[in-house]
Amino acid sequence: MTTRRVGPADLARLTEVRAREPQQVARLWDERRLRPLLPADGRLLLVAADHPARGALGVGADPMAMASRTELLDRLVTALERPGVDGVLGTPDILEDLLLLGALDGKVVIGSMNRGGLQGASWELDDRFTAYTAEAVRRLGLDGGKMLTRIALEDAGSVRTLEACAQAVTDLADAGLLAMVEPFWSVREDGRVRNLLDAESMVRAVHVASGLGASSAHTWLKLPVVDDLERVMDATTLPTLLLGGDPAGAPAETYASWGHALGLPSVRGLVVGRALLYPREGDVAAAVDVAADLVHGGAS
């Protein structure tokens, strides 16, 4: 399978279109070929690319790994062209670049909504909605909106985040669109926010997230793979996609943990960003193919 590459000439073309014909973005959203949210097997593999808008550019030991838009788009296009990849989650800038590159036809597209909690900021836990709104998600024909929901009992910014997320869940449900909530029980230590990844903390976060909004009919969860995940998943009936996070351990160990977790009843797939786009072994297509086989069982 030949993979299309994205290079400097493509970036120059994107800039030219944005400068001279910005109306093309709206036209292409209107013309985009849509698909059902779920394939026949009821499972999803989405590639996530909303980290940069929060100032989070690091992968592993490289704090600027995602700094190059050319390289990021090249990796995203490579991933989206692989069989079994259902779609992408991103902020407007990245999704519009992919749209102009023709990479979003027939794909599930989830808009990232609250990116105001910049990594390392004093206000990080006040995750303001600075990207997609529920109305924009509906108007553009996206499949849903995703919101980060970090809950820190000692930080008043959390309650503003909870209120805004609840309103977004309500608005998306009213439009019949997926609301993807990514909850964490969080603490601030030495000026930095840390998400608690033990089962008990995740269970608490899941219960709070599940109760957001006037309806949970269209709510999905986005959760990390943690120890005792069976206990966490027993806390909800909401469909759940597992996040990949920053690749830390050996790839084989990561894939094995994903495979085990995908066997749980409420788990419906993966939303993976850095672990697939910047794999330790460097081969994006190979990493994506492993994930697609885990999610869809070779039935892509």
Name the strand (E) or helix (H) holding 93. Answer: helix 92-100
pLDDT of residue 166: 98
Mean pLDDT check: name the lowest of 189-198, 203-212, 246-255. Answer: 246-255
Tens of pLDDT along 96-130?
A: 999 999 999 999 999 999 999 999 999 999 999 99
268 vs 297: which has the higher pLDDT: 268
Give the residue-averaged pLDDT of 136-146.
98
Tens of pLDDT along 4-38?
A: 789 999 999 999 999 999 999 999 999 999 999 99
pLDDT of residue 254: 86
| DSSP state letters, 169-225 | HHHHHHTT-EEEEEEEEEEEETTEEEEE-SHHHHHHHHHHHHT-SS--TTEEEEEE-
Do the beta carbons of residue 83 and residue 298 sit within 8 Å?
A: no
252 confidence band (pLDDT: 50, 70, 90)? confident
pLDDT of residue 250: 76
Q: In Å, how far are 38, 97, 159, 161, 184 from 209, measured between CA atoms?
A: 22, 31, 12, 11, 9
Q: What is the average pLDDT value for the chain, to the nearest integer? A: 95
For a pLDDT cut of 90, what percent of the chain falls above it?
90
Give the residue-averaged pLDDT of 149-157.
95
Q: Is the pLDDT of residue 299 over 50?
A: no
Backbone angles phi, psi at 256, to 5 degrees: -65, -40
Single-letter amino acid, residue 66: M
Q: How far apart are CA 292 and CA 288, in angstroms?
A: 6
pLDDT of residue 214: 98
Fold of 8-296: TIM Barrel (3.20.20)
Nearest-5° Cα angle at 94, 188 to 238: 60
pLDDT of residue 300: 41
Q: Is the pLDDT of residue 161 over 50?
A: yes
Tens of pLDDT along 32-69?
A: 999 999 999 999 999 999 999 999 999 989 999 999 99
Q: Burial level of 186, CB count in 10 A (0-12/13-18/19+)?
A: buried
